[in-house]
Amino acid sequence: MSDKAELVKREETTPERSRQIPAIAPVVDIYENSDEILLHADMPGVAKEDITVNVDNGKLTITGVRKVTATGAANWAEFGDVEFTRIFSVPQAIDVGKVNAELRDGVLKLHLPKSEAAKPRQIEIKAA
């Protein structure tokens, strides 16, 4: 079977997902030092329970849904429900078991520690 036919077959078996809310990419800053990669994602209005962080097979996926409940009649509405989604490639040198995340003031902070083998180290030179 050709690759194109396989792709079409896969699309037919994938359940159709209807998107009720717009999806946008959160603004992200990424910092790296010798111990870790630190990622800050701006996700205003998203509750901790509505955020999903997944590291799998070299891919980091961040998803969060902001739900706004309106009280009263809206005269002007620019701030509504939205789904934040962003996918990154991460090096295999990340210690997935030690990844941690925190959410404060609408900013998701991900700490992606490097494995010991990936950290730079000083090599001592011995005199002969």
Q: Which tokens in the block code for residue 19?
A: 């998107």
HSE value, Cβ hemisphere, 13 Å, CA-based, for 110: 26
Report residue 20's pLDDT band, with 50, 70 and 90 as the boundaries. confident
pLDDT in tens, 49-87: 999 999 888 899 999 999 888 788 877 877 889 999 999
Largest Cα–Cα distance in the chain? 83
HSE value, Cβ hemisphere, 13 Å, CA-based, for 30: 8
- DSSP 3-state of 38: strand
What is the Cα–Cα distance from 40 to 29, expressed in whole angstroms? 5
Residue 9 clears pLDDT 70, i.e. is over it: no
Q: Which of 25-29, 75-79, 92-96 is predicted with the least confidence, judged by mean pLDDT?
A: 75-79
For residue 1, what pLDDT is reported? 46
For residue 24, what pLDDT is reported? 93
Report residue 5's pLDDT band, with 50, 70 and 90 as the boundaries. very low
Residue 43 clears pLDDT 60, i.e. is over it: yes
Residue 10 clears pLDDT 60, i.e. is over it: no
Q: Which tokens in the block code for residue 77?
A: 């509405």
CA distances from 57 to 1, 62, 91, 94 (A): 26, 14, 10, 11
The kind and range of the H/E element at 5 are helix 3-13
Residue 44 clears pLDDT 90, i.e. is over it: yes
CB 84 within 8 A of CB 46: yes
CB 43 within 8 A of CB 64: yes
What is the Cα–Cα distance from 33 to 114, expressed in whole angstroms? 9
Q: What is the pTM of this model?
A: 0.71
Average pLDDT over residues 86-108: 91
Ordered domains of the chain (ranges, CATH): 18-71+78-117 (2.60.40.790)
